[in-house]
Every structure is written in structure tokens, then in C-alpha cells.
């Protein structure tokens, strides 16, 4: 059963301010919980319904939760609906610890994805999932980007956040041009197929805002 303080805490984590204060975020659904456990994300608590537990297809996840000694609390369907962001909750929600963000090393010789004021949670989730698929693990988010641990971003990322190095409020100007080549994604730019990517590695690929593209300041930085 959920206490009033539990409900208040979980609901507050819909907002970035409180995710930062409590150093926590929430994830919903079998896939995200499984990905979090397998990626060694610290899970403080799992809330689960009897209906979810009763389904045989969830046995492997329940075994994984037990093997990792994760605390579970059984709640009813009404309580689950009250704390979930989704319209039709799957029956499982986990309270996770936000990862500690280490100091960014912009001089490392690895490739980076720089996201410039991305506003739509679904778009950010897709970009993070795509970066993960291509093995680009260093992600820099500019100021005014939607939060990577927003619940909609987490759903769109499908667990990619657990495997990426995410850095917030990063200035593109902090990257050293003697180390990295800055590449901007423009609709009317040169086709990537005409670029010998081996000659520009390591690179920082800049993707801009959905409506306005790359900000003027960052265009100047990359010039």
C-alpha cells in the first residue's frame, strides 16, 4: 500500500526540479525496468500490482528483481494509476536513483552528439536511442534542452539512457576544435555521403531545435 508521502514523492518526480532535489526518477513498464536492472542502474523501490505478478510472461523479470535484492511493494490498480504517467499502466513502476554526472571531458578523442535546444520529449528519446544503436555514447545537452530523464523521454529512449554518458547544460564552445571536428546537421547542408568521415574523426555532431535548427551562437562556434 502507498503512503501519502510515497504518492507525493512519486508524483513530484514528473518535474525536473524535484528529480534534481530527490536525485531520483521513475520508469514504467517491463522493458524499462528490465533494462535498468541489466544496466546496473540503482533501483530504490519497485511498485507492482498482483495482476502483473500473476502473468507468466513476467516471471523472468520477477526472478531478475529477486536475484538483485530489489525491494518491491504490492499496490492495487487504482494506486498504480494514481502514480503513473501513462493512460493504461502496465502494472510496474520503479523508483531509480539519478546517475552521478561526472565532470565532462571535452578533450577526449571520442565522438559526441551535441543536442541544441531539443524541446520535444519524443524526439529526444528517439535521438538518444539512435545514438545508443550507433555506439555514440557521449551525449551533450545544451541549455534549454528537455530533460533526458523526463518520463516521456525515457519511454522514447527505451532504456538507452542507462547506457549513455549524459551531460547537461554544455556549451558547444567548450569543445576543443584542435581535437574535434564540429559537424552541424542542416537541411540545406552538404550531404553526409559526400564527406569522408575518417578525415573528420573524432567529431561532434550538432543537431538543432525542431523548429529553429541550430542556434545562431552555435553556428558561429562551428564555423
pLDDT single digits (tens) 146-182: 999 999 999 999 999 999 999 999 999 999 888 898 9
CA distance 81 to 39: 27
CA-CA distance, 96 to 86, in Å (whole number)? 18
- Assess whether the region 4-97 and the region 112-222 belong to the same CATH fold: no
Total Cβ atoms within 10 A of residue 128: 28
DSSP-based three-state secondary structure for 126? helix
Residue-wise pLDDT for 86-138, tens only, equals 889 999 999 999 998 878 888 888 999 999 999 999 999 999 999 999 999 99
Does this model's pTM top 0.75? My answer is yes
- In sequence order, the 6+-apart residues with CB closer than 8 A to the CB of 1 are 73, 75, 79
Which of the four CATH numbers 3.30.420.40, 3.20.20.80, 3.40.1280.10, 3.40.47.10 does domain 112-222 have?
Answer: 3.40.1280.10
139 and 167 in contact (C-beta within 8 Å)? Answer: yes
What architecture (CATH level 2) is domain 4-97?
A: 2-Layer Sandwich (3.30)
Top pLDDT among 223 and 49 is at 49
Beta bridge partners of 34: none
Q: Give the domain ranges of the chain.
A: 4-97, 112-222
- pLDDT band at 59; cut points 50, 70, 90: very high
Amino acid at each position: 500500500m502507498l503512503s501519502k508521502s510515497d504518492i507525493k514523492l512519486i508524483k513530484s518526480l514528473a518535474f525536473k526540479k524535484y528529480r534534481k532535489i530527490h536525485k531520483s526518477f521513475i520508469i514504467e513498464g517491463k522493458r524499462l525496468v528490465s533494462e535498468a536492472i541489466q544496466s546496473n542502474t540503482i533501483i530504490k523501490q519497485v511498485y507492482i500490482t498482483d495482476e502483473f505478478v500473476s502473468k507468466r510472461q513476467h516471471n523472468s523479470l520477477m526472478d531478475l528483481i529477486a536475484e538483485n535484492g530489489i525491494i518491491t511493494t504490492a499496490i492495487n490498480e487504482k494506486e498504480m494509476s494514481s502514480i503513473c504517467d501513462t493512460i493504461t499502466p502496465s502494472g510496474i513502476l520503479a523508483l531509480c536513483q539519478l546517475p552521478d554526472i561526472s565532470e565532462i571531458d571535452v578533450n577526449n578523442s571520442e565522438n559526441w552528439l551535441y543536442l541544441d535546444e531539443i524541446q520535444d520529449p519524443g524526439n529526444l528519446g528517439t535521438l538518444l536511442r539512435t545514438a545508443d544503436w550507433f555506439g555514440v555514447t557521449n551525449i551533450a545537452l545544451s541549455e534549454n534542452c528537455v530533460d533526458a530523464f523526463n518520463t516521456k523521454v525515457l519511454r522514447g529512449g527505451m532504456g538507452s539512457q542507462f547506457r549513455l554518458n549524459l551531460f547537461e547544460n554544455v556549451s558547444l564552445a567548450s569543445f576543443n576544435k584542435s581535437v574535434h571536428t564540429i559537424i552541424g546537421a542542416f537541411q540545406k547542408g552538404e550531404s553526409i555521403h559526400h564527406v569522408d568521415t575518417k578525415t573528420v574523426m573524432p567529431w561532434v555532431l550538432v543537431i538543432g531545435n525542431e523548429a529553429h535548427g541550430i542556434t545562431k551562437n552555435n553556428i558561429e562556434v562551428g564555423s
